[in-house]
Amino acid sequence: MLDVKASDFAEAASVARGRLEQRGWSEVFSSDEFVQMESSRWKGTTIVLDRVKRMDSMGAVLEPEAERALQADPAKWDSYIVVSLSSVGE
């Protein structure tokens, strides 16, 4: 989970996408809910930029401190972004 100092998910995704594009990642798919990117440098590796509210569906488990911070201010959930990295061996 990242805080890129955005006001909402669209801005957070845009900031994260831009930073990843500077490092050679390219967008494969995007929607209002998530952005999927891949890199030619790491074949079979995918990054998904997602909303905090969808973390449960990804099977993510937060550290207790992060969980408390999120629960303390749920209005800020859309300003954070969840980055998930997966790799399929070739």
In this predicted structure, what is the pLDDT of residue 66?
79
Distance from the first to the final alpha carbon of the chain: 28
Q: Where are the beta strands (DSSP E) in the chain?
A: 2-3, 25-30, 34-39, 45-50, 80-87
pLDDT, one tens digit for every residue, the chain (90 residues)? 788 888 899 999 999 999 999 999 999 999 988 999 999 888 889 999 998 877 766 677 778 887 887 888 877 778 888 888 888 865
In this predicted structure, what is the pLDDT of residue 72?
86
In this predicted structure, what is the pLDDT of residue 29?
95
In this predicted structure, what is the pLDDT of residue 16?
93
Q: pTM here?
A: 0.80
Nearest to 53 by CA among 20, 68, 72, 75: 75
Nearest to 88 by CA among 36, 43, 23, 30: 43
